[in-house]
Chains A and B, each alone.
Chain A
Amino acid sequence: MMRIVIVEDSVLLREGIARLLGESGHDVVGQLVDAGGLVAAVAELHPDLIVLDVRLPPTFTDEGIRAAVQVRAEAPAQPILVLSQYVEERYATELLASDSQGIGYLLKERVADVGDFVDACERVAAGGTVLDPEVVAQLLARRRRGPFDDLTPREREVLGLMAEGRSNVGIARHLVVSDGAVEKHISSIFAKLGLATSDTEHRRVLAVLQYLQQHG
Chain B
Amino acid sequence: MKRLFAPLFRVRTWSESLHLLLDLPFGIAWFTIVVVGLSLGVGLVVLALVGLVILMATVLTGRLIGIVERARARALLGVDVQPPSPSRWRDEQGTWRRVKAALGDVPGWKGLGYGLIMLPMGILNFTVVVTLWSVAFAGIVYPTWGWAVPQNDWYDHEVHGWLKAGFISGTFIVGVLVLILTPRVIRGLAAVDRGLIKGLLSGSPTAELRQRVESLTVSRDASVDIAESERRRIERDLHDGVQAQLVTLAMDLGMARQKLAAGEDADPAVLELVERAHDDSKRAVSELRNLVRGIHPAVLTDRGLDAAVSALAARSPIPVEVNIALPSRPPATVESAAYFVIAESLTNAAKHSGASLVRVDVRIADERLRVEITDDGRGGADIEHGGGLAGLAARLAAVEGRLRVASPLGGPTTVLAELPMPPGSAWPAPLATTS
Residues on A close to B: CB < 8 A? 9-10, 12-13, 16-17, 19-20, 23, 55, 60-62, 65-66, 69, 85-86, 88-91, 93-94, 97, 107-109, 111-115, 137-143, 213, 216
- Complex-state Cα separation, A90 to B282, whole angstroms: 25
Quick check: B248 and A90 within 8 Å, CB to CB? no
Seed contacts A86-B299, A109-B285; 5 additional CB < 8 Å A-B pairs: A13-B247, A88-B311, A90-B299, A90-B307, A109-B243
- Complex-state Cα separation, A114 to B285, whole angstroms: 15
Quick check: A89 and B432 within 8 Å, CB to CB? no
A193 → chain B closest CB, angstroms = 18
Is B298 part of the contact surface with A, judged by Cβ < 8 Å?
yes
Quick check: B253 and A112 within 8 Å, CB to CB? yes
Quick check: A62 and B314 within 8 Å, CB to CB? no
List the B side residues contacting A93 at CB < 8 Å: 434-435
CB-based nearest A residue for B299: A88
Could you write out 13 A-B pairs with CB less than 8 Å apart? A16-B252, A62-B302, A85-B292, A86-B293, A89-B314, A109-B286, A109-B289, A115-B258, A138-B310, A138-B314, A141-B313, A141-B320, A142-B322
List the A side residues contacting B303 at CB < 8 Å: 62, 88, 90-91
Quick check: B315 and A111 within 8 Å, CB to CB? no
Q: Residue among B302, B307, B308 with the most chain A CB within 10 A?
A: B302
- Complex-state Cα separation, A143 to B323, whole angstroms: 11
Q: Which of A66, A90, A109, A139 contacts B431 (CB 8 A)?
A: A66
- Complex-state Cα separation, A147 to B319, whole angstroms: 17
List the A side residues contacting B245 at CB < 8 Å: 12
Quick check: B302 and A12 within 8 Å, CB to CB? no
Q: Which of B247, B298, B301, B431 contacts A108 (CB 8 A)?
A: B247
List the B side residues contacting A108 at CB < 8 Å: 243, 247
A15 → chain B closest CB, angstroms = 8
**Interface residues on chain B, size class:** 35 or more
- Complex-state Cα separation, A111 to B285, whole angstroms: 11
Quick check: B247 and A109 within 8 Å, CB to CB? yes
Is B228 part of the contact surface with A, judged by Cβ < 8 Å?
no
List the A side residues contacting B298 at CB < 8 Å: 55, 61, 85-86
- Complex-state Cα separation, A93 to B299, whole angstroms: 14
Q: Residue among A23, A107, A108 with the most chain B CB within 10 A?
A: A108
Quick check: B289 and A85 within 8 Å, CB to CB? yes
Interfacial residues of chain B within 230-259, with CB under 8 A of chain A in the complex? 236, 239-240, 243-248, 250-255, 257-258
Is B125 part of the contact surface with A, judged by Cβ < 8 Å?
no
B180 → chain A closest CB, angstroms = 85
Q: Which of B285, B293, B431 contacts A112 (CB 8 A)?
A: B285
Is B194 part of the contact surface with A, judged by Cβ < 8 Å?
no
Interfacial residues of chain B within 264-290, with CB under 8 A of chain A in the complex? 278, 281-282, 285-286, 289
Quick check: B299 and A143 within 8 Å, CB to CB? no
List the A side residues contacting B435 at CB < 8 Å: 93, 97, 213, 216
Is B348 part of the contact surface with A, judged by Cβ < 8 Å?
no
A6 → chain B closest CB, angstroms = 13
List the B side residues contacting A16 at CB < 8 Å: 247-248, 251-252
A87 → chain B closest CB, angstroms = 9
B362 → chain A closest CB, angstroms = 16
Is B321 part of the contact surface with A, judged by Cβ < 8 Å?
yes
- Complex-state Cα separation, A89 to B293, whole angstroms: 15
A81 → chain B closest CB, angstroms = 15
B333 → chain A closest CB, angstroms = 18
A205 → chain B closest CB, angstroms = 17
- Complex-state Cα separation, A114 to B254, whole angstroms: 6
List the B side residues contacting A17 at CB < 8 Å: 251
Quick check: B240 and A113 within 8 Å, CB to CB? no
Is B316 part of the contact surface with A, judged by Cβ < 8 Å?
yes
B247 → chain A closest CB, angstroms = 5
Quick check: B282 and A112 within 8 Å, CB to CB? yes
- Complex-state Cα separation, A16 to B246, whole angstroms: 12
- Complex-state Cα separation, A17 to B289, whole angstroms: 20
B49 → chain A closest CB, angstroms = 42
- Complex-state Cα separation, A113 to B322, whole angstroms: 34
Q: Which of A10, A69, A109, A213 contacts B250 (CB 8 A)?
A: A109
Q: Residue among B246, B311, B432 with the most chain A CB within 10 A?
A: B311
Q: With A12-B244, A88-B307, A94-B434 given, is the CB distance from A109 to B254 under 8 Å?
A: no
- Complex-state Cα separation, A94 to B434, whole angstroms: 6
4 closest Cβ pairs, A-B complex: A138-B314, A112-B250, A141-B314, A90-B307
Interfacial residues of chain B within 389-435, with CB under 8 A of chain A in the complex? 431-432, 434-435
CB-based nearest B residue for A214: B435
Q: Residue among A10, A19, A216 with the most chain B CB within 10 A?
A: A10
- Complex-state Cα separation, A90 to B307, whole angstroms: 6
List the B side residues contacting A90 at CB < 8 Å: 299, 303, 307, 310-311, 434
CB-based nearest B residue for A62: B302
Quick check: A112 and B236 within 8 Å, CB to CB? no
CB-based nearest B residue for A12: B248
- Complex-state Cα separation, A9 to B253, whole angstroms: 22
Quick check: B289 and A86 within 8 Å, CB to CB? yes
CB-based nearest A residue for B290: A86
Q: Which of A85, A112, A114, A141 contacts B281 (CB 8 A)?
A: A112
CB-based nearest A residue for B236: A60
CB-based nearest A residue for B259: A23
- Complex-state Cα separation, A9 to B245, whole angstroms: 13
